[in-house]
Amino acid sequence: MKTLVTGGVRSGKSQHAEQLLDQHPQVTYVVPGLAPHDDAEWAARVAAHQARRPQHWTTLETPDLAMAVIEAPGAVLVDCLGTWVTRLLDDAGAWPDREQATAIVEERTDSLVDALETTDGEFVLVTNEVGLGIVPEHASGRLFRDLVGVVNQRVAAVCQEVHLVVVGRVLHL
């Protein structure tokens, strides 16, 4: 079973995703983004996520989501595709170049989708719902919104279920 969990910031999507796998004996929690080293508020969010996870879950920090889908043992929870896109663009220094950024994200998304299509198992992927807000003022915000929107559509197309989390409530799409 492959499930995409989407929603706005602080909607409860990560908690819902964790609950979907809480009965599995072996879960690999994949963290594809990097936390800023000098951001205390972000560090507190990461700590809250870590404290909520069962102790027997394994954490894997990697931007190589295709590899994680194929090789990680047990059920796999990826949290989140939005931080993954950010890391891909940060690592490549591609924010100022829309064409380069798009090519990088498309290539990595192709690999992820191929891995999801060809690998059996229990997968839950968390993402940000970016299509409900205003048009961002800055080019980097528009780039992020556009790329995450495409990633979300591509991943949703290979998932059996898509859950939208709004104010802690789950809608099955």
pLDDT beyond 90 at 33: no
Total number of residues shown for the chain: 173
Active-site residue among 49, 56, 138, 163? 49
pLDDT beyond 90 at 10: no
pLDDT beyond 90 at 40: no
49 is catalytic: yes
**82 labelled ligand-binding:** no
**10 labelled ligand-binding:** yes
Mean pLDDT for 47-62 is 85
**146 labelled ligand-binding:** no
Mean pLDDT for 104-126 is 98
What is the band of 9 on the pLDDT scale with cuts at 50, 70, 90?
confident
Residues 93-110 have pLDDT tens digits of 999 999 999 999 999 999
**87 labelled ligand-binding:** no
pLDDT at 128: 95
Domains of the chain: which residue ranges?
2-172
Assign a CATH topology to domain 2-172. Rossmann fold (3.40.50)
